[in-house]
């Protein structure tokens, strides 16, 4: 999560076949033998054209999504460059949103993760029938 004061940056997915038209946090998958913070910094560079020092990332949340995904969420208020839509083939736009007025049309799990992060809840299970 790139944070600028009380706002965070979201990207509207497009042309990917998953969540197209919905807002999402910039994100991605780790490459082989890649530490999580380096992967987060790499994804930010690929998607937003910014440079983030992995040491400037703060762990904020982990989400175990049914049936087989684990998402790690980091925050930062430090980066080099102005974020822009660096992957127009996967994203139609990027925009800053107030953390207390996020769009209703978001992919469900990042919306839940953001709510947990704001409440300082470090762990959640998502879409498990046995979740509390």
- pLDDT tens digits along 110-129: 999 999 999 999 999 999 97
Side-chain half-sphere CA neighbours of 23 within 13 A = 16
Rounded to the nearest integer, the mean pLDDT of the chain is 96
Architecture of domain 3-126: Alpha-Beta Complex (3.90)
Q: How many CB atoms lie within 10 A of CB 41?
A: 22
Band (pLDDT 50/70/90 cuts) for residue 130 is low
Cis peptide, bond prior to residue 67, ω within 30 of zero? yes
Instruction: Answer positive or negative: Cα dihedral of 77, 115, 97, 91.
Output: positive
The domain locations on the chain are: 3-126
Phi, psi of 36 (to 5 degrees): -60, -45
Phi, psi of 13 (to 5 degrees): -70, 145
Report, as an integer, the average pLDDT of 62-84. Answer: 97
Q: What is the structure's pLDDT at 132?
A: 53
Average pLDDT of span 62-90: 97
pTM: 0.93
């Amino acid at each position: 999560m790139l944070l600028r004061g009380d706002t965070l940056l979201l990207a509207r997915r497009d042309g990917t076949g998953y969540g197209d038209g919905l807002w999402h946090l910039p994100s991605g998958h780790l490459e082989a033998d890649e530490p999580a913070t380096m992967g987060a910094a790499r994804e930010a560079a690929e998607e937003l054209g910014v440079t983030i020092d992995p040491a400037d990332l703060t762990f904020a949340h982990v989400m175990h999504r049914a049936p087989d995904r684990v998402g790690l969420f980091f925050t930062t208020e430090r980066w080099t460059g102005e974020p822009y839509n660096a992957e127009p083939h996967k994203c139609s736009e990027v925009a800053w949103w107030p953390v207390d007025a996020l769009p209703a049309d978001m992919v469900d799990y990042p919306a839940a993760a953001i709510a947990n992060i704001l409440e300082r809840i470090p762990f959640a299970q998502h879409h498990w029938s046995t979740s509390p």
